[in-house]
Amino acid sequence: MSEITQKTIMLEPEEITKKDVGLAWLRFYFVNEIPHSFDKYISPSLMWALMPILKKLYKDKEDLAAAYERHLLFFNTQLSWGGGTITGIMASLESARAQEMYLDQPITIDDDLIYNTKSGLMGALAGIGDSIDSGTIQYIFIAIALPWAQSGSALGALFPFLAFSLYQLFIGYYFAQLGFKLGRTAATEVVGEQMQSVIEGLSILGLFMMGILAGNYVKVSSSLAFTLSGKEFVIQEILDSVLPGLLPLLVVSGVYYYFSKKGLNVTKALIGLTVILGALAFIGIL
């Protein structure tokens, strides 16, 4: 075997498997926020996650160093929907780029394409992931565990944390494999019609769970009662006969209206709600 042929074989990129992509996702999952910095945000996490894949693709030290540097530019996204999908896509793009370099073909997957793909997807996927995971899924787990917590079971405190962590682990793995399989078109699949139906269903389920929480755990009742023509009227009994839970619903709706108009200022909302409910209680309405 000639020296040139032997060198060519040594530089040949190895095949990237589902196991490699799964390992990259696990590495990103466990170090996601650890190397967080203001100038790079979580790009070191993604670079460290991709390191085993990049080492299999780039046998030349200079090419490997350039690949590391490529993935140390500013990057920030949500853990599972954004991080999982983009981890898989980056593995797919780097694999294709390494093949182009090995075969001495024109480089179509250049640095700009790789970074622009990341920067174009990280915000959009983070928006979806935050609204679904942080805005819906975790509160479903909390709602499930609240009765256990109220009964004094430690499972009520542990279940939301464990269930949410496992949910993000498995859905992120799915998106990482999807991203690697479909490459840059994976984002279209994530926001496609089928996934939109899932997202819409989860949003509706989340609204139901918020309604259940409000009905069961927001306790507001009226103590107002008066006598008219010798007959006593108790306002709370009248409200319960017309629409049970009306006062908690009005309180929750009022807080939601305040947030929609004034922004998510929880401190002001709590202070204002305390003052209003305290005043109503003082004059005997509540």
Written as one string, the DSSP assignment of 111-145 is HHHHHHHHHHHHHHHHHHHIIIIIIIIHHHHHHHH
Confidence check: pLDDT of 217 > 70: no
Highest averaged pLDDT of the listed ranges 8-17, 52-61, 98-107, 208-217 = 52-61
Task: Give the pLDDT mean for 131-140.
Answer: 80
Distance CA 135, CA 121 (A): 20
pLDDT of residue 186: 55
- Torsion angles phi and psi, residue 49, rounded to 5: -65, -35
The length of the chain in residues reads: 286
Query: Residue 281 corresponds to which tokens in the numbers above?
Result: 């209680």
Distance CA 225, CA 220 (A): 16
Domain boundaries, the chain: 3-209, 221-282
Task: Give the pLDDT mean for 58-83.
Answer: 89
What pLDDT band is residue 283 in, cutting at 50, 70 and 90? low
pLDDT of residue 103: 83
What pLDDT band is residue 1 in, cutting at 50, 70 and 90? very low
Confidence check: pLDDT of 205 > 60: no
pLDDT of residue 249: 75
pLDDT of residue 20: 93
Q: What percent of the chain has pLDDT over 90?
A: 17
pLDDT of residue 121: 83
**Per-residue pLDDT tens over the stretch 248-267:** 777 777 777 777 777 767 77
Confidence check: pLDDT of 5 > 50: no
* Strand pairing report for 225-228 and 231-234: antiparallel
Q: How far is it between the farthest Cα atoms of the chain? A: 112
Task: Give the pLDDT mean for 1-29.
Answer: 76
Task: Give the pLDDT mean for 133-156.
Answer: 82
Mean pLDDT (the chain) is: 79
**Per-residue pLDDT tens over the stretch 30-55:** 998 888 888 888 999 999 999 999 99
Are 28 and 71 a contacting pair, CB within 8 Å? no
Task: Give the pLDDT mean for 173-197.
Answer: 69
Lowest mean pLDDT of 15-29, 69-83, 121-135, name the range: 121-135
Distance CA 18, CA 118 (A): 21
Task: Give the pLDDT mean for 211-225.
Answer: 66
pLDDT of residue 82: 87
Spatial CA neighbour of 47 closest among 19, 66, 22:
66
Q: What percent of the chain has pLDDT over 70?
A: 74
Q: Regarding predicted confidence, which is higher, 83 or 280?
A: 83
Task: Give the pLDDT mean for 128-141.
Answer: 81
Point out which residues pair with 37 in neighbouring strands: 41
Provide the whole-model pTM. Answer: 0.69
pLDDT of residue 28: 94
